[in-house]
Amino acid sequence: MKNKVYFIRASREEGAEVIARKARAIYLALGLNEKIEPEDFVALKIHFGEKNNTGHIKPRWLTGIIDEVLKKSQRAFLSDSNTLYVGNRSNSVDHIRLAWEHGFTPDVVRIPVIIADGLIGREKTEVKVDGQRIQTSRIASAFLHSDAMLCLTHVTGHVQSGVGAAIKNLGMGCASRAGKLDQHSVVHPRVNTKQCRNCGLCIRYCPAGAIIQTESYVLIDDEKCIGCGECLVVCKYGAIKMKWDEDSRRLQEKMAEYALSVKNHFRDKICFLNFILQVTKDCDCMAKNQPAIVADVGIVGSLDPVAVDRASIDLVLKTAGQDAFKKGYNIDWSVQLAYGEKIGLGSQKYELVEIKDF
């Protein structure tokens, strides 16, 4: 049986109020709202956009969805996890301030912003996976303490996975900083000795005793390092670096396994909405305004993350008349879909149901 993917045409030119009504229509069609209980914690997983980024989902596009969720539970919240790289979203204080700057304030969205892995990204829960790529996923704790999830995704291209959509938002976006390191790198972190202040904080947090303090800086002993990423998380000066050396296939497969561990937690109380508006070459982690690589398409939704991503990509390719994602980066984005299907994350076969009345 093909999984249903609901679709409604939309354009940024219609304005936030119309887009909000259309997003609400997609959400209600999925049936998740009927399953939410009054005491449920409901996580609205989103990417707030890096500073100066303009492609991210706009807060006023979500007001209709939030209205419906609040009718069922007052414990809803918007959330993301901290970034692996040092910047405006690498700790909760700066991350929340940036969300406010982008309009995700209480007067607009009426629900709080909570960063799921805590102040500096250390709050994680390990989930047994036993996959081909990973044995244990490291998920930001607040997500796994929630009862339901709405995975709200801005579809974009991506420098490492070719496409960034629901699978990436669920797998990479819900991972703690240690989980992001796990997916991105097959080697241990390294120390930029010029940036190291030799404060010793990383030594206190290293569970493997793998960090050595010299007279001027610290070093990491590769033989002892277990790759947990604790040193990277706690360093306040950006002196601990990761190596962005993960090949695309391995990254996409790890991402799918992480996504499955999150989806399995919520069982039937999770849904996926993809916004195919201002689709850009790069993801919303880019701190700049980017032009769209294809005309606005609309909003799609499903209970299946693989199906909703497959449908999103098909709609983009049809609208563009070419593979607009591969034009940006010559990466085989289909790996995450095929592997996700293989491990039971979802199916690439879908039935597109267009909504015209809303």
Residues 81-117 pLDDT 10s: 999 877 889 899 999 999 999 999 999 999 999 999 9
Domain 188-241 has CATH 3.30.70.20: yes
Q: What is the pLDDT of residue 245?
A: 55
On average, the pLDDT of the chain sits at: 94
Q: What is the pLDDT of residue 24?
A: 98
Q: What is the 3-state secondary structure (H, E, C) of the chain?
A: CCEEEEEEECCHHHCHHHHHHHHHHHHHHHCHHHHCCCCCCEEEECCCCCCCCCCCCCHHHHHHHHHHHHHHCCCEEEEECCCCCCCCCCCHHHHHHHHHHCCCCHHHHCCCEEECCCCCCCCEEEEECCCCCCCEEEEEHHHHCCCEEEEEEECEEECCCEEECHHHHHHCCCECHHHHHHHHCCCCCEECCCCCCCCCHHHHHCCCCCEEECCCCEEECCCCCCCCCHHHHHCCCCCEECCCCCCHHHHHHHHHHHHHHHHHHHCCCEEEEEEECCCCCCCCCCCCCCCCCCCCCEEEEECCHHHHHHHHHHHHHHHHCCCHHHHHCCCCCHHHHHHHHHHCCCCCCEEEEECCCC
Condensed to tens digits (0 to 9), the pLDDT of residues 229-257 reads: 778 778 989 899 866 556 789 999 999 99
Q: What is the pLDDT of residue 65?
A: 98
CATH number of the structural domain 3-183+247-354: 3.40.50.11440
Question: What value does the CA radius of gyration of the chain take, rounded to a whole number of Å?
Answer: 20
Which residues of the chain are modeled with pLDDT < 70? 186-187, 227, 242-246
Q: What is the pLDDT of residue 288?
A: 85
Condensed to tens digits (0 to 9), the pLDDT of residues 105-151 reads: 999 999 999 999 999 999 999 999 999 999 999 999 999 999 999 99
Q: What is the pLDDT of residue 84?
A: 80
Ordered by start, the domain boundaries in the chain are: 3-183+247-354, 188-241
Q: What is the pLDDT of residue 243?
A: 64
Say if residues 5 and 354 touch (Cβ distance below 8 Å): no
